[in-house]
Amino acid sequence: MADQKWGHCKQCKYFASPARLPLEDEEAPCLHPVLSKYRLTVFGANGCTGWDLRAGAEPPRERPSAPA
C-alpha cells in the first residue's frame, strides 16, 4: 500500500466479485494481501490506495476530490 495508487474497488483485482466487470453497488470481500485479515466486505464504489487494476477494467480517469 506504499505506492499511493488510488482506485475504486470495482476496478481492483482484489475485489472478490465473480463478475468480469463489477458494478458500483455490488458487495464483495476485499482480498488485498494486507487488508484481507480484516475480512472487509466493500462496495464497488469504495476505494483505497492498495488498489491494483483488475484484468479487463479501464484505469480510472480522475482522482477523487478531497472531503469537504
Task: Summarize pLDDT for 27-67 with one digit per residue, the tens.
Answer: 999 999 999 999 999 999 999 999 999 988 887 776 555 56
- Stated pTM of the model: 0.79
Cα gap 37→11, rounded to integer Å: 21
For the chain, where are the E strands, in sequence order?
7-8, 27-29, 41-43, 47-48
Query: Which band of pLDDT confidence, cut at 50, 70 and 90, is reported for residue 2?
Result: very low
Looking at the domain assignment, is residue 57 inside a domain?
A: no
Q: Which triple of cell numbers denotes residue 60? A: 480510472
Looking at the domain assignment, is residue 60 inside a domain?
A: no
Amino acid at site 62: E
Looking at the domain assignment, is residue 66 inside a domain?
A: no
Looking at the domain assignment, is residue 44 inside a domain?
A: yes
pLDDT tens-digit profile of 7-27?
Answer: 899 999 999 999 988 999 999
The domain tally of the chain equals 1
Identify the domain containing residue 17 by its residue range. Answer: 7-48
8's CB contacts (< 8 A; 6+ apart) are 24, 44, 45, 46, 47, 51, 60
Residue 1 scores a pLDDT above 60: no
